[in-house]
Amino acid sequence: APLLEIKDLHAEIAGGRKIINGMNLTINPGEVHAIMGPNGAGKSTLSYVLSGKPGYEITGGEVIFRGVNLLDLSPDERAAQGLFLCFQYPLEIPGVSNMAFLHTAVNSQRKKRGEVELTSPELVRKVRELGKTLGIDADMLKRPVNVGFSGGEKKRNETLQMMLLEPYFCVLDEADSGLDIDALKVVSNGVNALRSPERSMLVITHYQRLLDYIVPDVVHVFNAGRIVHTGGKELALELEATGYAQYQSEAA
């Protein structure tokens, strides 16, 4: 069975414009899909709608994830079901240390799944191990979540959260924005280390560059709130050369 099925999804900004416009997408376990599209196409809105962020209204369709309609679940329940989103602009949480945040996040998910919670020493050991592979030191783990972090540090921090939570499905929205090449490699290596036959990913990006590092199985062109064209990984290179304009007419 597919891991995720988006069926004729329609969504708008509450009290505002319609942004997602009859979107269909099927992702099988283990697959990495890329969504590429121009600015303003609705890519980030799609990731917000999948996460359950308030302020969006679903006006049609469904999202079946591991056998349940994701849209019926609270954001917490979605996460416990194994959904993880890396946002274009990661949240800052003043007053909460990174380590404390990770501890709460992991154990609240384990609790919801009926799993044994991690003890403090277990968590600290795990976080330090993963942190090492991402260039995250003890100081960064003590600091408040993302506060004063550089763009690269925020992305590495999100990758740490993702590696720790071991989700079934990861959505990465513009994971390369604000990253220099070294940080891009660290984050991509972390993401690639998570690739497995049970886990799928949706990589949203404006530029082809990221897809040199996270090589997708399938590439979709997204425009005006829906997928207008689908191809293999070579489509990303083609788009880099030709731009998105040719697929606007195909959608219309």
**Residues in contact with Mg ion by the rule CB under 5 A:** 39, 43-44
By CB under 6 A, which span of 34-42, 72-80, 99-107, 119-127 interacts with ligand ADP? Answer: 34-42
Contacts of 17 by beta carbon, 8 Å cutoff, 6+ apart: none
Determine the size of the site formed for ligand ADP (CB under 6 A).
Answer: 11
Strands (E) located in the chain: 4-13, 18-27, 32-36, 56-65, 68-69, 83-86, 93-97, 144-145, 169-173, 200-205, 218-223, 226-231
Q: Least separation, in Å, of the C-beta of 138 and ligand ADP?
A: 35
| Residue type, position 29, single letter | P
Return the number of the residue (49 or 164) whose C-beta is nearest Mg ion: 49
The reply to whether 243 sits near ligand ADP by the rule CB under 6 A is no
- Residue 227 CB, nearest approach to Mg ion (Å): 16
Among candidate residues 160, 93, 89, the one with its CA nearest the CA of residue 124: 160
The partner in contact with residue 13, picked from ligand ADP, Mg ion, none with C-beta cut-offs of 5 to 8 angstroms by kind, is ligand ADP
Report if residue 39 touches ligand ADP, rule: CB under 6 A. yes
User: What's the rounded Cα separation, in Å, for the pair 243 and 37?
Assistant: 9
Residue closer to ligand ADP by CB (options 42, 167) is: 42
Cα-Cα-Cα-Cα torsion 47, 53, 56, 57, nearest 10 degrees, comes to 100
Examine residue 85 and tell whether it contacts ligand ADP (CB under 6 A).
no
Quote the least distance from Cβ 82 to ligand ADP, whole Å: 24
Interaction partner, residue 45 (ligand ADP, Mg ion, none; CB < 5-8 Å by kind): ligand ADP
Chain mean position to CA 170: 4
Strand-pairing partners, residue 25, are: 6
Contacting residue, 25, 33, 36, 45, with ligand ADP by CB under 6 A: 45
Q: Which listed residue (16, 231, 232, 243) binds ligand ADP by CB under 6 A?
A: 16
Q: How far is the CB of 20 from Mg ion (least distance, A)?
A: 13
Helical residues (DSSP H) of 52-207, grouped into ranges: 75-80, 98-112, 120-134, 138-142, 151-165, 181-193
Residues 52, 77: Cα–Cα separation, whole Å: 10
- Binding ligand ADP (rule: CB under 6 A), the pick from 3, 4, 36, 41 is 41
Among 5, 18, 28, 44, interactor with ligand ADP by CB under 6 A: 44
Residue matched to tokens 């501890």 = 103
List residues near ligand ADP by CB under 6 A. Answer: 13, 16, 19, 37, 39-45
